[in-house]
Structure 1
Amino acid sequence: MLKMEGISYSYHKNRPVITDLDLEIEAGKITAIAGPNGCGKSTVLKLASRLLKPQTGEIFIGEKNISHMSKRAVAREVSMLFQNSQIPDMTAQRVVMAARYPYQSSFAGYTKEEEEMSECAMELTGCKEFRHKNMAELSGGERQRVFLSMIYNQDTPLILLDEPTTYLDIHVTYEIMELIRNLNKNRKKTIVMVLHDLNLALQYSDSLVLMNHGSIYNIHTPDDDRILESIKSLFGIEVRNFRDNQNSFYCFAQN
């Protein structure tokens, strides 16, 4: 689905953030990216969405090289939710409907089908009850539901999420993570998300990419016992996995 080959990127000359990075994301899976602050996690997402252009290397979505695609064409393939999304001065409903822009001609309004898709997106993400409220009036959890509804409505095969649960309380955090899982399982979306919370990363991902100093440190599936040693080595914390019949629970402690 997503392939990055030999990617390097610097925000400032002689201070590389990403160095000769190779990464392949499997279609139809949830991939979490974790690592220390400043290791390049969010930069990877910005490069994959073509918000940033790599200094070296190529990025492919399927067989398509995104450097050869128009912005509108990229927006039909990949959608991204930023960590600190600006709060637009518009209603929740208008935000959700704006996600249809990659599919519209310059002067066309919304079709009946697009209006119905927007309604469906708000229904599935629990936004309909506050659809007519301005985004500034909503709580953090409500706004995040709207942004996920917008992503849902953009209807791209690849979804990139940068810290989707930042500043949310624990109850809302798990509600948002379940919505993300629903996008993957029921809508067959490929999802790549940056997470600081390793518990969430281990519970909700099919694959965990660990980064350090702009490179891939290791990649594991959550059921790979070696993942605990990789986390210990990278973060300097002990991890223990407790299992019952259905779930895994992780306990973290500093060395």
Structure 2
Amino acid sequence: MKIATYNVNGVNGRLPVLLKWLSEEKPDVVCLQELKAPQEKFPEAEMLEAGYHAVWVGQKSWNGVAILTKNGKATVVRTALPGDETDEQSRYLEVKVNDLTIVCVYVPNGNPTPGEKYDYKLKWLERLDAQAELLISAGKPVIITGDFNIIPTESDVYKPEKYKNDALFLPEVRTAFKNLIAQGWTDGLRHLYPEKTIYTFYDYFRKAYERNAGMRIDHFLISPDILPHLKNGGVDNEVRGWEKSSDHVPTWIELENI
């Protein structure tokens, strides 16, 4: 089973890119973030024509998450992160695909710092920590994936000194990621490639993609039940060079006997 995550940065505006990538790579499950589309504007018909069923939580102008599946429609478990009933931002989608629980997250960016956006990010991460603890404690196969907006270590960003005051790299945010790992989750790509330079995001400015000046902020957190089945993983960097592409690149893992 090939599972991918992709911050598409506008599902309708970048639909040709998404459809081309789906046609070429044919992942079994795709978690999308930053749909930038209200619920009724998600391109469900185009996804079906491409061979994918979809469940999604849209939001006008920004945010929004979706999960695409090739073999039948996923069963929706949750459409919002527990812990704050007043939170109206569409950033969390939890589904079941057969016996596998898949969680698609779009963690808040948090910039500028300090400020309300950063405070919201920290509170959101606290809620994610609590939900992740419940999921892993259940002892069932779970994957949490998506755009975490977290650079875990200095090796995960080009010129880390430039990001010392950035909400993606501040100590509290990196500690939140470490706390998730400490629950028993495995950072899938880093587990597969402990020393390799891996970037999943390239800014639109200063020819970041051409210079390979990126960062790794799209992650797979894998529960202990899944880890023995982890076969392969990677990033489709070439997609970033396509016309009108997202600033993120599709990131994926492959599981065997799942």
Q: Which has the higher strand share?
A: 1
TM-score normalised by the chain length of structure 1 = 0.36
TM-score normalised by the chain length of structure 2 = 0.36
Q: Which has the higher helix share?
A: 1
